[in-house]
Structure 1
Amino acid sequence: MWNWEKVNKHIDYSFQMSESLSSRETSFLINEETMFQKNQQSKDSIFFRDGIRQIDFVLSYVDDIKKDAELKAERRKEFEKNLRKTGLELEIEDKRDSEDGRTYFVKIHAPWEVLVTYAEVLGIKMPIKESDIPRPKHTPISYVLGPVRLPLSVKYPRPEYFTAQFSRHRQELFLIEDQATFFPSSSRNRIVYYILSRCPFGIEDGKKRFGIERLLNSNTYSSAYPLHDGQYWKPSEPPNPTNERYTLHQNWARFSYFYKEQPLDLIKNYYGEKIGIYFVFLGFYTEMLFFAAVVGLACFIYGLLSMEHNTSSTEICDPEIGGQMIMCPLCDQVCDYWRLNSTCLASKFSHLFDNESTVFFAIFMGIWVTLFLEFWKQRQARLEYEWDLVDFEEEQQQLQLRPEFEAMCKHRKLNAVTKEMEPYMPLYTRIPWYCLSGATVTLWMSLVVTSMVAVIVYRLSVFATFASFMESDASLKQVKSFLTPQITTSLTGSCLNFIVILILNFFYEKISAWITKMEIPRTYQEYESSLTLKMFLFQFVNFYSSCFYVAFFKGKFVGYPGKYTYLFNEWRSEECDPGGCLIELTTQLTIIMTGKQIFGNIKEAIYPLALNWWRRRKARTNSEKLYSRWEQDHDLESFGPLGLFYEYLETVTQFGFVTLFVASFPLAPLLALINNIVEIRVDAWKLTTQYRRTVASKAHSIGVWQDILYGMAVLSVATNAFIVAFTSDIIPRLVYYYAYSTNATQPMTGYVNNSLSVFLIADFPNHTAPSEKRDFITCRYRDYRYPPDDENKYFHNMQFWHVLAAKMTFIIVMEHVVFLVKFLLAWMIPDVPKDVVERIKREKLMTIKILHDFELNKLKENLGINSNEFAKHVMIEENKAQLAKSTI
């Protein structure tokens, strides 16, 4: 919990110190630009004009000629005056010296006194002694991975230290070799942003207004950002510090390094822990995908090798078996009868993903997802130790009140923790907005379902066209075609569905941000959590609804010839291909997953590149002027407060494709692996080259996303069990193999004939029978029903109930087995590795010892006595304490 009394004392102290400055000193700070010779400064300089004071933050603004120009100018004047009162030093670049001739730049430097004051306020940990705990040693297999490793100087840019929360009264305790470099640039910009976010700029409508975010929202300032430490394509020259941006680009952001590990410590040092932990998660997820991809590829290869020897496909393709089976029409009147062997290639292709390995892979992925989440807990715990986040508390910039919340609040109440009056909004004033928010989310999810139904109607309405065009008179010939009407409509329908998904997703992103603002969340953390819930619910329905339809609804409620089920009493329900619905689910999953990943990577690379090119093209109008470091960064794209949110959302959506429907597509982990390898480098490239540097912020976990991953992991066990049971054809085959086969040498012989029921053509109603008459009297359809000559004709036969019982048994057994293994693994794998627990204890012990020795030495110096007298003094004090204790 933050000590707000301490914070306010520090802020008041800073204001008092600044007010003691003479008017002469203040005037010097304001008018310093007149003393500067422009040709003496390098365009890559990250210092003030004196070449000594480092630029920690930059604000920019443009003269506004609108009616509120004077108000904005007054706000800026007051804000900058108050920044100086806190101890920050400012230097202003006139618009006449800027490249575009219209932008002012306010450069901010935090001197040593400000840094030490706010480092104590923020509880920043700094080194007190080099650690004597050795880094983890490489295992024997590590030498095999030598080409993947980065140089140690890049992987570990700084030694490990024992650390303690900084205190300005204990400066001698810390390893301060140079005050200018003691605080890394990420800590410096974090401190400055903290000051900017709390600095007042006036009183309006009787309320105290403060914070850079409010000024940015009102366009008083156009941007606020920390500087990159140099160019990404060349190292910095003295006196500039080591160019970490260049090191990151060389060892992380280049696509030729796709096989290399990431310089995680360097990412954390440069961008902060919050962005660093995202790349740790993405890298760990990618590593774990490698194992799932290998097993999935092995299952695919098994299906490929066994495809030609598959009895079902052989019978379907055989002119004497499949060629003699006349199938019932797939639509009313327009569609003709067709021979089963016309789906020969489709049945072979279906076997690639619907074979004996499907069951194994579904069980394997249920165990894999458990191992992934359990090992991620361990990785996260190790990361907390390595990055000094063991005692981490949520950062103030996440807990502080949003300006929008304060502006809307008309009530105030006493905070029970801080004992201060703060803005308060009663629940009854929020209820209308919550209702609007809930109604909007429900409306848009209903719109997704409606669009999915529209795609289904499209497939049903054009199916007859495809069927009449592709089959016509050739349908009764012994042909082998892959593009059956089912596959054709499935392909076009999937592509159309993907386009609709992208369109709906684009508009919903805008609307979800708007309705979240309308809810008036109290803090930034509440805002992000609310937006996460809305976006994930919508993405879940948007991306997965069509897959759920194909997996669990399509072909399940068709009816039978003569008594079909109709959608809106007009369109006949879709039937599955004779090879099963699994191949259609595979097609749907492949198009949506692959399309989303390709579109996402292209968008992430092209969008900022195009915007930056256009912005630079407009800005570079005066080539004779210095295109300075702050101007170069100003023309880059802003990553934004929700930039990381969308990265997580994209990764979690992909995780859903990999886990929820993986039984239908064993190659999904391989596609995800390839995408993530590219994604890591695309994200690294755009952060390093196309975006302004982000403000460093802390995080000790991936937050609410971890709970979402756990929920999807549990759901994936059920979905894959149902896919194997009801979408795949593996259970009916096993029932036939063990209970109905009459061939001892080749048990699967006759399965195709057994799985098709017989229908008497004369029983077709007039509105469903084909317009053209044929000379055969029966046709076949996919189901288990009694033949027309039985007294129970067209009712489900006993084999149907046997198959249904086997499916339900499989679901129960698979779920119990997988969940049992999940619980055992979760129990066996500790959340925090044993060696990390020992290291944390060792570090705490050493930190306490160092602090204790420091205080004793300081006390000794203050008393001015020798060692013997000091020891005697300590003994006397301890005896007094023991006597007092015994007396009590």
Structure 2
Amino acid sequence: MGDPNLLEVLAEEGKIAHKDIDYSFQMSESLSSRETSFLINEETMFQRNQQSKDSIFFRDGIRQIDFVLSYVDDIKKDSELKAERRKEFEKNLRKTGLELEIEDKRDSEDGRTYFVKIHAPWEVLVTYAEVLGIKMPIKESDIPRPKHTPISYVLGPVRLPQNVKYPHPEYFTAQFSRHRQELFLIEDQATFFPSSSRNRIVYYILSRCPFGIEDGKKRFGIERLLTSNTYSSAYPLHDGQYWKPSEPPNPANERYILRKNWARFSYFYKEQPLDLIKNYYGEKIGIYFVFLGYYTEMLFFAAIVGLACFIYGLLSMEHNACSIEICDPEIGGQMIMCPLCDQVCDYWRLNSTCLASKFSHLFDNESTVFFAIFMGIWVTLFLEFWKQRQARLEYEWDLVDFEEEQQQLQLRPEFEAMCKHRKLNAVTKEMEPYMPLYTRIPWYFFSGATVTLWMSLVVTSMVAVIVYRLSVFATFASFMESDASLKQVKSFLTPQIATSLTGSCLNFIVILILNFFYERISAWITKMEIPRTYQEYESSLTLKMFLFQFVNFYSACFYVAFFKGKFVGYPGRYTYLFNEWRGEECDPGGCLIELTTQLTIIMTGKQIFGNVKEAIYPLALNWWRRRKARTNSEKLYSRWEQDHDLESFGPLGLFYEYLETVIQFGFVTLFVASFPLAPLLALINNIVEIRVDAWKLTTQYRRTVASKAHSIGVWQDILYGMAVLSVATNAFIVAFTSDIIPRLVYYYAYSTNATQPMRGYVNNSLSVFLIADFPNHTAPSETRDFITCRYRDYRHPPDDENKYFHNMQFWHVLAAKMTFIIVMEHVVFLVKFLLAWMIPDVPKDVVERIKREKLMTIKILHDFELNKLKENLGINSDELAKHVMIEENKAQLAKSTI
């Protein structure tokens, strides 16, 4: 490390960016002879000593472990190649200034794993803090934190202690510069850089460190070594045990604080310690929990309104005019309905659906329209206020001037391995791997064909479930609609409801199975596309997974909402699927209750299954891994071994968390008109989800490498798209799936009873069919004494000259439905645009705070440079001011001349 020529060799090999080399070269000159001697004689200076199993330091108890690499001796093929790679890689890590300490496999509990502990000394940290543009404090902020409003005192039990919510004071910050170290508030070099910044810096070095030249190509980066199993894992250490605080000399155990104040189910009602999460896990994970918490808060308001609408339906259920008529033995009991399937099904009395009609009213009442419009406005407020929350977060977390991290643009090892061409990068002016488009086009076609095939498979499975429903409907009808159905029977479990329940459960099982296989296939396809960077890989996978899950989870709901019961025909001229099965009909009260059933089963089942899986899977896996690893209980079970036996969160861990949340958002917004309790279910799930995610991150997963992010990325665009689509879907659900519009048309245009306007609606909504007109293959096998039967539609009676053609009321209802869709969409979109225009993306107080901080930062930097110049020139303050004024006048004169 004392020889700067070593870094010049690396520069010639092109392993490190030019800027990194310049800093590292200057850093190497500043190292003391003592540190140089230490690196050379590392193995001889330290002996194996007994130490605490909770220690996060090297054997000397001074140098903190910032990162750990592990590997196992591989006696199979390529063992020598892997050993040579590790040797070269570790040698080059030492050249960059990192300090390494290796734990022999004989000291590990399993007796086969080597651990390479890595420490970043001060010189490395200050160098790469400048390279990465990390902002560090220069002065405590004089901007007061937002004051509590009067309602905040009501929410006192929800609040966390101030020292947990705000673990550190607010500071004015500036990008770190090692030439201005005196400017920064450095009290202790060991604690100046938080552990998240330290592991981020070390990972930056690891991801760019070379390990040799193979097949004429330069190889570098820890990710490639992990892919080739040269190392088995690479991870930063947790700073202590989650069940007890650390003892000196270990630093404050933030993991324990998080477990105590965040990752506990008994704290479900508490706010989250967001600053502490950000400090420990980094901004990328922090912003996910900010979004999940904000989404949960907004769901609270939607849940209250939805619950109020449900209670309204519950209270008005017994007074619903339609249900009263259906349940009345003299009205619904005298209406003989046409069979719901051919031959096997019998005639049935309308009042047999009495309880089902009452239950349908819970979700299909006057409040449905109000709630659909409310949710269209709610989703706009949700997205607009999220932009404000995100802007506030950017200021509070020093992300205002943040640009995408360089490691997000880092080339993937798989891309480099497959590339046979190189070209000059116009920006860096360096030769880099390049893959011509013509070599990737076949994989793009294959990828598109595979995704299309799987989405077709989803549609096929949905058709199979429909066929199942049609097949078993006759079975249910044969024993549920026997002679008893022609008596005065009032049952909730009608053949339609029974078929819908079993079909929905079967559909949910099929969804889980297809999703399980597609997750693995989509990851494989994306790798075959050979994306250039990790960012391209994640974007491609996001598109595939979202498209598939959108079709997988929502296709059944779209079918029930917009297709079921719409194209069945009428008695005597039914529509048949595959010329064999008659199309499904809706309940006499409409298909909304079946959509509600479908939505409830899929949404609730998915949330319960997801939370159980997230909690049990890592717990069981870690138990089994520890059980296998702890073969030598007399050995020290060290901190790096404990973390090694935890599950890895992985680079796509957050991806699946976002995907789960976005799919839930679709259930809450796309079909909420049919199920006002959806926001309440989502609220309960998210309250649990926050604590489950916190618990598994804190206790069951290795610590993730800290990385920055200033937004939720492409997911925000997906949310905007779903918000726009939700307005259309809810308008169509109210118009075509619920029974609201036909009732309103009857109320205002066809009712003849002034005192009870809705009296006679049921009779009006059912058409008459002459049983003698049944074709032989559709008529029930048993003959009855009835002359006519009723069916749900608006058609002329058999004695009319326009026999069985749609009557004028059908066209009036259709016109009303289309008018409602157009009016609702325009009203909601108008309100959406007005709200988007009225609500600024960045709150006014945040704009002022940003300006204040920039002004103060410039002033502090200016004063620092003036004082430095004063010291260098050895002049007094008046002379210095005069000197500065002369220089400023010269610059102004030159500017005006130009």
For normalisation by structure 2, the TM-score amounts to: 0.97
CA separation of 1:486/1:124 partners in 2, compared to 1, >3 Å: closer, same or farther? same
2:107 to 88, 91, 97: 97
- Tell me the residue number matched to 1:655: 665
Query: What CA deviation, in whole Å up to 9, does each residue of 1:563-609 have, x standing for no partner?
Result: 00000000000000112100000000000000000000000000000
- CA drift at 1:540: 0.3
- Tell me the residue number matched to 1:73: 83
Query: What CA deviation, in whole Å up to 9, does each residue of 1:467-488 have, x standing for no partner?
Result: 0011122121110111111000
SS at match of 1:308: helix
- CA drift at 1:414: 1.8
CA separation of 1:760/1:887 partners in 2, compared to 1, >3 Å: closer, same or farther? closer
Query: What CA deviation, in whole Å up to 9, does each residue of 1:211-237 have, x standing for no partner?
Result: 000000000000000000000000000
- CA drift at 1:860: 0.6
Query: What CA deviation, in whole Å up to 9, does each residue of 1:224-270 have, x standing for no partner?
Result: 00000000000000000000000000000000000000000000000
CA separation of 1:749/1:528 partners in 2, compared to 1, >3 Å: closer, same or farther? same
- CA drift at 1:428: 1.1
- CA drift at 1:651: 0.2
CA separation of 1:556/1:867 partners in 2, compared to 1, >3 Å: closer, same or farther? same
Alignment of 1:730-879 (within 5 A): 730-879=740-889
Query: What CA deviation, in whole Å up to 9, does each residue of 1:332-379 have, x standing for no partner?
Result: 001111111111110000000000000000000000000000000000
Query: What CA deviation, in whole Å up to 9, does each residue of 1:292-349 have, x standing for no partner?
Result: 0000000000000000011111111111111111111010001111111111110000
CA separation of 1:309/1:726 partners in 2, compared to 1, >3 Å: closer, same or farther? same
CA separation of 1:23/1:143 partners in 2, compared to 1, >3 Å: closer, same or farther? closer
Q: Distance in 2 between matches of 1:26 and 1:517?
A: 43
Query: What CA deviation, in whole Å up to 9, does each residue of 1:784-828 have, x standing for no partner?
Result: 100111111110011101100000000000000000000000000
Q: Distance in 2 between matches of 1:40 and 1:200?
A: 34
* Alpha-carbon contact 2:19-2:131 (below 8 Å) kept: no
Q: Distance in 1 between matches of 2:324 and 2:40?
A: 87
- Tell me the residue number matched to 1:527: 537
CA separation of 1:223/1:543 partners in 2, compared to 1, >3 Å: closer, same or farther? same
- CA drift at 1:522: 1.1
Q: Distance in 2 between matches of 1:787 and 1:881?
A: 94
- CA drift at 1:883: 5.2
CA separation of 1:67/1:26 partners in 2, compared to 1, >3 Å: closer, same or farther? farther
Runs of 4+ that moved beyond 4 A: 15-39, 882-888
CA separation of 1:242/1:24 partners in 2, compared to 1, >3 Å: closer, same or farther? closer
Q: Distance in 1 between matches of 2:627 and 2:594?
A: 48
Query: What CA deviation, in whole Å up to 9, does each residue of 1:628-668 have, x standing for no partner?
Result: 00000000000000000000000000000000000000000
* Alpha-carbon contact 1:11-1:86 (below 8 Å) kept: no
Q: Distance in 2 between matches of 1:758 and 1:46?
A: 82
SS at match of 2:64: coil
Choose 871-880 or 64-73, whichever is displaced more.
Answer: 871-880
Q: Distance in 2 between matches of 1:873 and 1:769?
A: 106
Query: What CA deviation, in whole Å up to 9, does each residue of 1:367-396 have, x standing for no partner?
Result: 000000000000000000000000000001
Q: Distance in 2 between matches of 1:830 and 1:885?
A: 37
CA separation of 1:9/1:384 partners in 2, compared to 1, >3 Å: closer, same or farther? closer
Query: What CA deviation, in whole Å up to 9, does each residue of 1:545-570 have, x standing for no partner?
Result: 00000000000000000000000000
CA separation of 1:242/1:789 partners in 2, compared to 1, >3 Å: closer, same or farther? same
- CA drift at 1:410: 1.7
Q: Does 1:49 align with 2:59?
A: yes
CA separation of 1:879/1:650 partners in 2, compared to 1, >3 Å: closer, same or farther? closer
Q: Distance in 1 between matches of 2:292 and 2:27?
A: 46
Q: Distance in 1 between matches of 2:430 and 2:124?
A: 25
Task: Tell me how many residue pairs correspond in the alignment.
Answer: 882
SS at match of 1:288: helix
Q: Does 1:473 align with 2:483?
A: yes
Q: Distance in 2 between matches of 1:693 and 1:649?
A: 22
* Alpha-carbon contact 1:18-1:84 (below 8 Å) kept: no
- Tell me the residue number matched to 2:452: 442
* Alpha-carbon contact 1:16-1:85 (below 8 Å) kept: no
- CA drift at 1:18: 6.0
Measured on the aligned residues, the alpha-carbon RMSD in Å equals 1.6
* Alpha-carbon contact 1:15-1:85 (below 8 Å) kept: no
* Alpha-carbon contact 1:15-1:86 (below 8 Å) kept: no
CA separation of 1:880/1:660 partners in 2, compared to 1, >3 Å: closer, same or farther? closer
SS at match of 1:840: helix
Q: Does 1:38 align with 2:48?
A: yes
- CA drift at 1:162: 0.5
Q: Distance in 1 between matches of 2:303 and 2:854?
A: 41
- CA drift at 1:868: 3.0
1:716 to 704, 726, 739: 726
Q: Distance in 2 between matches of 1:715 and 1:877?
A: 60
- CA drift at 1:40: 3.3
- CA drift at 1:27: 8.8
- CA drift at 1:429: 1.1
- CA drift at 1:875: 3.6
CA separation of 1:389/1:53 partners in 2, compared to 1, >3 Å: closer, same or farther? same
Q: Distance in 2 between matches of 1:512 and 1:334?
A: 45
CA separation of 1:20/1:394 partners in 2, compared to 1, >3 Å: closer, same or farther? closer
SS at match of 2:802: coil
Q: Distance in 2 between matches of 1:744 and 1:466?
A: 42
* Alpha-carbon contact 2:368-2:674 (below 8 Å) kept: yes
CA separation of 1:759/1:55 partners in 2, compared to 1, >3 Å: closer, same or farther? same
* Alpha-carbon contact 2:415-2:531 (below 8 Å) kept: yes
CA separation of 1:428/1:791 partners in 2, compared to 1, >3 Å: closer, same or farther? same
Choose 298-307 or 475-484, whichever is displaced more.
Answer: 475-484
* Alpha-carbon contact 1:759-1:780 (below 8 Å) kept: yes
CA separation of 1:446/1:885 partners in 2, compared to 1, >3 Å: closer, same or farther? closer
SS at match of 1:198: coil
Q: Tell me, which stretches of 5 or more residues in structure 2 are unaligned? A: 1-16
- CA drift at 1:409: 1.5
- CA drift at 1:22: 12
- CA drift at 1:873: 2.8
Q: Does 1:229 align with 2:239?
A: yes
1:550 to 551, 560, 563: 560
CA separation of 1:668/1:887 partners in 2, compared to 1, >3 Å: closer, same or farther? closer
SS at match of 1:40: coil
- CA drift at 1:10: 2.8
Query: What CA deviation, in whole Å up to 9, does each residue of 1:521-552 have, x standing for no partner?
Result: 11111111111011000000000000000000
- CA drift at 1:519: 1.0
CA separation of 1:62/1:663 partners in 2, compared to 1, >3 Å: closer, same or farther? same
CA separation of 1:27/1:447 partners in 2, compared to 1, >3 Å: closer, same or farther? farther
For normalisation by structure 1, the TM-score amounts to: 0.98
CA separation of 1:823/1:86 partners in 2, compared to 1, >3 Å: closer, same or farther? same
SS at match of 1:45: coil
- Tell me the residue number matched to 2:299: 289
- CA drift at 1:881: 3.8
SS at match of 1:39: coil
Q: Does 1:391 align with 2:401?
A: yes
CA separation of 1:502/1:31 partners in 2, compared to 1, >3 Å: closer, same or farther? farther
* Alpha-carbon contact 1:30-1:92 (below 8 Å) kept: no
- CA drift at 1:769: 0.4
* Alpha-carbon contact 1:486-1:577 (below 8 Å) kept: yes
* Alpha-carbon contact 2:27-2:124 (below 8 Å) kept: no
Q: Distance in 1 between matches of 2:442 and 2:672?
A: 41
Query: What CA deviation, in whole Å up to 9, does each residue of 1:101-132 have, x standing for no partner?
Result: 11000000000000000000000000011000
CA separation of 1:461/1:884 partners in 2, compared to 1, >3 Å: closer, same or farther? closer
Q: Distance in 2 between matches of 1:798 and 1:856?
A: 87
Q: Distance in 2 between matches of 1:739 and 1:13?
A: 82
* Alpha-carbon contact 1:369-1:659 (below 8 Å) kept: yes
* Alpha-carbon contact 1:14-1:85 (below 8 Å) kept: no
SS at match of 2:768: strand
CA separation of 1:849/1:17 partners in 2, compared to 1, >3 Å: closer, same or farther? closer
CA separation of 1:740/1:697 partners in 2, compared to 1, >3 Å: closer, same or farther? same
SS at match of 1:385: helix
* Alpha-carbon contact 1:17-1:85 (below 8 Å) kept: no
Choose 45-54 or 10-19, whichever is displaced more.
Answer: 10-19
- CA drift at 1:867: 2.2
